[in-house]
Amino acid sequence: MRVLVTPDYRTLSEEAAALVARAIRAKPDITLGLPTGNTPLGMYEELIRRHRDESLDFSRVQTFNLDEYLGLAPDHPQSYHAYMRDRFFDHVNIAAENTHIPDGSPGRDADAECRRYEDAIRGSGGIDLLIVGIGANGHIAFNEPGSSFESHTRVVTLATQTIENAKRHFPNDANIPTSAITIGIRTILNARRILLLASDPSKAEAVERTLRDPISESVPASALRLHSDVIAILDESARQR
Ligand code: GLP
Protein backbone atom coordinates (compact mmCIF):
# COMPACT_ATOMS: atom_id res chain seq x y z
CA MET A 1 0.00 0.00 0.00
CA ARG A 2 1.35 3.42 -0.90
CA VAL A 3 0.60 6.06 1.70
CA LEU A 4 0.35 9.77 1.04
CA VAL A 5 -0.03 12.09 4.02
CA THR A 6 -1.44 15.53 3.27
CA PRO A 7 -1.21 18.53 5.61
CA ASP A 8 -4.98 18.99 5.78
CA TYR A 9 -8.40 17.78 4.67
CA ARG A 10 -8.60 20.19 1.76
CA THR A 11 -5.38 18.85 0.23
CA LEU A 12 -6.55 15.27 0.81
CA SER A 13 -9.75 16.08 -1.09
CA GLU A 14 -7.85 17.73 -3.95
CA GLU A 15 -5.38 14.84 -4.25
CA ALA A 16 -8.20 12.29 -4.24
CA ALA A 17 -10.18 14.20 -6.87
CA ALA A 18 -7.06 14.66 -9.01
CA LEU A 19 -6.44 10.92 -8.96
CA VAL A 20 -10.07 10.16 -9.88
CA ALA A 21 -10.05 12.81 -12.63
CA ARG A 22 -6.86 11.36 -14.13
CA ALA A 23 -8.43 7.90 -14.12
CA ILE A 24 -11.58 9.21 -15.87
CA ARG A 25 -9.52 11.03 -18.51
CA ALA A 26 -7.48 7.86 -19.13
CA LYS A 27 -10.64 5.71 -19.40
CA PRO A 28 -13.81 7.76 -20.05
CA ASP A 29 -16.06 4.71 -19.58
CA ILE A 30 -14.44 3.82 -16.25
CA THR A 31 -16.38 1.96 -13.55
CA LEU A 32 -15.97 3.60 -10.13
CA GLY A 33 -16.79 2.25 -6.68
CA LEU A 34 -18.07 5.14 -4.56
CA PRO A 35 -18.28 5.73 -0.81
CA THR A 36 -20.51 7.87 1.38
CA GLY A 37 -19.79 9.43 4.80
CA ASN A 38 -18.16 12.75 5.66
CA THR A 39 -14.69 11.86 4.41
CA PRO A 40 -15.36 11.89 0.65
CA LEU A 41 -17.46 15.09 0.68
CA GLY A 42 -14.50 17.33 -0.18
CA MET A 43 -13.48 15.00 -3.00
CA TYR A 44 -17.00 15.14 -4.45
CA GLU A 45 -16.99 18.95 -4.24
CA GLU A 46 -13.68 19.09 -6.04
CA LEU A 47 -14.88 16.67 -8.75
CA ILE A 48 -17.97 18.86 -9.25
CA ARG A 49 -15.68 21.91 -9.60
CA ARG A 50 -13.56 20.08 -12.15
CA HIS A 51 -16.70 19.13 -14.09
CA ARG A 52 -17.81 22.78 -14.09
CA ASP A 53 -14.46 24.50 -14.69
CA GLU A 54 -12.42 21.88 -16.52
CA SER A 55 -15.10 19.95 -18.45
CA LEU A 56 -14.43 16.72 -16.59
CA ASP A 57 -16.87 14.43 -18.38
CA PHE A 58 -18.94 11.84 -16.51
CA SER A 59 -21.24 10.97 -19.42
CA ARG A 60 -19.76 7.48 -19.90
CA VAL A 61 -18.75 6.82 -16.27
CA GLN A 62 -20.48 3.98 -14.41
CA THR A 63 -20.66 3.92 -10.63
CA PHE A 64 -21.41 1.34 -7.97
CA ASN A 65 -21.87 2.54 -4.42
CA LEU A 66 -20.40 0.44 -1.67
CA ASP A 67 -23.38 0.14 0.63
CA GLU A 68 -26.86 1.27 1.69
CA TYR A 69 -28.88 1.11 4.90
CA LEU A 70 -31.44 -1.67 5.02
CA GLY A 71 -34.97 -0.41 5.54
CA LEU A 72 -34.51 2.97 3.83
CA ALA A 73 -36.12 3.50 0.44
CA PRO A 74 -34.14 5.52 -2.14
CA ASP A 75 -36.24 8.61 -1.45
CA HIS A 76 -35.53 8.54 2.31
CA PRO A 77 -33.51 11.67 3.17
CA GLN A 78 -30.92 9.68 5.18
CA SER A 79 -30.48 7.01 2.51
CA TYR A 80 -27.21 6.81 0.63
CA HIS A 81 -29.27 7.25 -2.55
CA ALA A 82 -30.25 10.72 -1.28
CA TYR A 83 -26.68 11.48 -0.20
CA MET A 84 -25.31 10.62 -3.64
CA ARG A 85 -27.94 12.66 -5.48
CA ASP A 86 -27.52 15.70 -3.23
CA ARG A 87 -23.77 15.64 -2.86
CA PHE A 88 -22.65 14.47 -6.29
CA PHE A 89 -24.85 12.99 -9.02
CA ASP A 90 -27.16 16.01 -9.39
CA HIS A 91 -24.14 18.27 -10.01
CA VAL A 92 -22.32 16.40 -12.79
CA ASN A 93 -23.32 15.00 -16.17
CA ILE A 94 -23.63 11.39 -15.07
CA ALA A 95 -26.46 9.33 -16.58
CA ALA A 96 -28.88 8.08 -13.92
CA GLU A 97 -28.89 4.62 -15.52
CA ASN A 98 -25.11 4.42 -15.06
CA THR A 99 -25.33 4.89 -11.29
CA HIS A 100 -25.94 1.89 -9.06
CA ILE A 101 -26.68 1.73 -5.34
CA PRO A 102 -28.08 -1.28 -3.47
CA ASP A 103 -31.81 -0.89 -2.88
CA GLY A 104 -32.56 -1.21 0.84
CA SER A 105 -36.29 -0.48 0.49
CA PRO A 106 -38.45 -2.04 3.20
CA GLY A 107 -40.30 -5.12 2.02
CA ARG A 108 -37.82 -6.01 -0.70
CA ASP A 109 -36.09 -9.38 -0.81
CA ALA A 110 -32.73 -8.15 0.47
CA ASP A 111 -30.82 -11.36 -0.26
CA ALA A 112 -32.04 -11.31 -3.86
CA GLU A 113 -31.01 -7.65 -4.09
CA CYS A 114 -27.49 -8.59 -2.86
CA ARG A 115 -27.15 -11.29 -5.52
CA ARG A 116 -28.45 -8.92 -8.20
CA TYR A 117 -25.98 -6.23 -7.11
CA GLU A 118 -22.93 -8.51 -7.07
CA ASP A 119 -23.93 -9.83 -10.53
CA ALA A 120 -24.36 -6.28 -11.82
CA ILE A 121 -20.83 -5.38 -10.69
CA ARG A 122 -19.45 -8.49 -12.34
CA GLY A 123 -21.56 -7.89 -15.47
CA SER A 124 -20.18 -4.38 -15.83
CA GLY A 125 -16.70 -5.83 -16.23
CA GLY A 126 -15.71 -5.07 -12.63
CA ILE A 127 -14.74 -1.94 -10.75
CA ASP A 128 -11.68 -0.13 -12.13
CA LEU A 129 -11.17 2.30 -9.26
CA LEU A 130 -12.84 1.92 -5.88
CA ILE A 131 -12.73 4.73 -3.33
CA VAL A 132 -13.34 3.74 0.27
CA GLY A 133 -13.36 5.40 3.69
CA ILE A 134 -12.67 3.71 7.00
CA GLY A 135 -14.77 3.42 10.14
CA ALA A 136 -13.30 4.15 13.57
CA ASN A 137 -13.47 0.38 14.19
CA GLY A 138 -11.57 -0.36 10.96
CA HIS A 139 -14.61 -1.23 8.87
CA ILE A 140 -14.64 -0.70 5.10
CA ALA A 141 -18.00 -0.09 3.44
CA PHE A 142 -20.16 -1.82 6.08
CA ASN A 143 -17.83 -4.80 6.53
CA GLU A 144 -17.56 -4.77 10.29
CA PRO A 145 -14.78 -6.48 12.28
CA GLY A 146 -15.02 -10.27 11.83
CA SER A 147 -16.16 -10.03 8.19
CA SER A 148 -14.65 -12.72 6.01
CA PHE A 149 -12.09 -11.57 3.47
CA GLU A 150 -13.99 -13.80 1.01
CA SER A 151 -17.32 -12.01 1.59
CA HIS A 152 -19.44 -10.70 -1.26
CA THR A 153 -22.46 -8.39 -1.29
CA ARG A 154 -24.71 -9.33 1.62
CA VAL A 155 -26.91 -8.16 4.47
CA VAL A 156 -24.95 -7.24 7.60
CA THR A 157 -25.78 -6.20 11.15
CA LEU A 158 -24.16 -2.89 12.03
CA ALA A 159 -21.73 -2.69 14.97
CA THR A 160 -22.94 -0.72 17.99
CA GLN A 161 -20.21 1.88 17.39
CA THR A 162 -21.34 2.29 13.76
CA ILE A 163 -24.94 2.86 14.86
CA GLU A 164 -23.71 5.39 17.46
CA ASN A 165 -21.74 7.25 14.79
CA ALA A 166 -24.72 7.25 12.42
CA LYS A 167 -26.85 9.03 15.02
CA ARG A 168 -25.47 12.44 14.04
CA HIS A 169 -27.11 12.02 10.61
CA PHE A 170 -30.51 10.94 11.93
CA PRO A 171 -32.52 13.76 13.48
CA ASN A 172 -34.38 12.78 16.66
CA ASP A 173 -32.62 9.39 16.67
CA ALA A 174 -35.65 8.19 14.73
CA ASN A 175 -35.47 4.73 13.23
CA ILE A 176 -31.73 4.45 12.86
CA PRO A 177 -31.13 1.36 10.76
CA THR A 178 -29.35 -1.50 12.48
CA SER A 179 -28.52 -3.42 9.33
CA ALA A 180 -27.31 -2.68 5.83
CA ILE A 181 -26.48 -4.08 2.44
CA THR A 182 -22.75 -3.89 1.77
CA ILE A 183 -20.44 -5.10 -0.93
CA GLY A 184 -18.05 -7.64 0.56
CA ILE A 185 -14.35 -7.54 1.25
CA ARG A 186 -13.74 -9.87 -1.69
CA THR A 187 -15.86 -7.54 -3.86
CA ILE A 188 -13.63 -4.65 -2.75
CA LEU A 189 -10.41 -6.61 -3.35
CA ASN A 190 -11.67 -7.53 -6.85
CA ALA A 191 -11.43 -3.85 -7.86
CA ARG A 192 -8.42 -3.15 -10.07
CA ARG A 193 -7.33 -0.17 -8.02
CA ILE A 194 -8.31 1.09 -4.57
CA LEU A 195 -8.08 4.53 -3.01
CA LEU A 196 -8.46 4.63 0.78
CA LEU A 197 -9.27 7.99 2.37
CA ALA A 198 -8.97 8.86 6.06
CA SER A 199 -9.33 12.13 7.90
CA ASP A 200 -10.08 13.03 11.52
CA PRO A 201 -8.40 12.01 14.80
CA SER A 202 -11.21 9.48 15.40
CA LYS A 203 -9.67 7.41 12.57
CA ALA A 204 -6.04 7.53 13.73
CA GLU A 205 -6.08 4.26 15.66
CA ALA A 206 -7.92 2.38 12.88
CA VAL A 207 -5.45 3.73 10.31
CA GLU A 208 -2.48 2.71 12.43
CA ARG A 209 -3.88 -0.80 12.89
CA THR A 210 -4.69 -1.05 9.17
CA LEU A 211 -1.13 -0.19 8.20
CA ARG A 212 0.85 -1.96 10.93
CA ASP A 213 -1.11 -4.70 12.73
CA PRO A 214 -1.05 -8.24 11.40
CA ILE A 215 -3.55 -8.61 8.54
CA SER A 216 -6.66 -9.95 10.23
CA GLU A 217 -10.44 -10.09 10.00
CA SER A 218 -10.58 -8.14 13.26
CA VAL A 219 -9.38 -5.10 11.25
CA PRO A 220 -11.33 -5.29 7.98
CA ALA A 221 -9.31 -2.50 6.32
CA SER A 222 -6.10 -4.53 6.82
CA ALA A 223 -7.38 -6.73 3.96
CA LEU A 224 -6.41 -3.90 1.63
CA ARG A 225 -2.76 -4.83 2.19
CA LEU A 226 -3.46 -8.04 0.24
CA HIS A 227 -4.13 -5.95 -2.90
CA SER A 228 -1.28 -4.89 -5.15
CA ASP A 229 -2.59 -1.45 -6.16
CA VAL A 230 -3.83 0.54 -3.18
CA ILE A 231 -3.08 4.15 -2.39
CA ALA A 232 -4.06 5.53 1.00
CA ILE A 233 -4.44 9.28 1.37
CA LEU A 234 -4.51 10.43 4.99
CA ASP A 235 -4.36 13.89 6.36
CA GLU A 236 -2.28 14.83 9.39
CA SER A 237 -5.34 14.65 11.64
CA ALA A 238 -5.72 10.90 10.93
CA ARG A 239 -2.12 10.12 11.91
CA GLN A 240 -1.47 8.65 15.29
CA ARG A 241 0.85 10.74 17.43
C1 GLP B 1 -20.15 4.56 7.11
C2 GLP B 1 -20.02 4.12 5.66
C3 GLP B 1 -18.59 3.81 5.35
C4 GLP B 1 -17.74 4.99 5.72
C5 GLP B 1 -17.84 5.23 7.20
C6 GLP B 1 -16.99 6.39 7.68
O7 GLP B 1 -20.03 3.49 7.97
N8 GLP B 1 -20.82 2.99 5.34
O9 GLP B 1 -18.49 3.50 3.98
O10 GLP B 1 -16.41 4.77 5.36
O11 GLP B 1 -19.19 5.51 7.48
O12 GLP B 1 -17.71 7.57 7.54
P13 GLP B 1 -17.12 9.00 7.74
O14 GLP B 1 -16.34 9.29 6.50
O15 GLP B 1 -18.32 9.88 7.90
O16 GLP B 1 -16.25 8.97 8.94
If residue 4 lies in a helix (H) or strand (E), which one and from where to where? strand 2-6
Contacts of 220 (CB under 8 A, 6+ apart): 138, 139, 140, 143, 144, 145, 147, 185
CA distance 165 to 169: 8
Substitution site in 12, 13, 36 for ligand 1 pocket (most atoms within 8 Å of beta carbon): 36
Contacts of 176 (CB under 8 A, 6+ apart): 163, 166, 167, 170
Ligand 1 pocket residue status of 67, Cβ below 6 Å? yes
- DSSP lists the bridge partners of residue 5 as 234
Ligand 1 pocket residue status of 39, Cβ below 6 Å? yes
**Cβ neighbours around 25 below 10 Å, total:** 12
Please report, in tens digits, the pLDDT of each residue of the chain (241 residues total): 999 999 999 999 999 999 999 999 999 999 999 999 999 999 999 999 999 999 999 999 999 999 999 999 999 999 999 999 999 999 999 999 999 999 999 999 999 999 999 999 999 999 999 999 999 999 999 999 999 999 999 999 999 999 988 888 888 767 799 999 999 999 999 999 999 999 999 999 999 999 999 999 999 999 999 999 999 999 999 998 7
Substitution site in 65, 84, 139, 163 for ligand 1 pocket (most atoms within 8 Å of beta carbon): 139
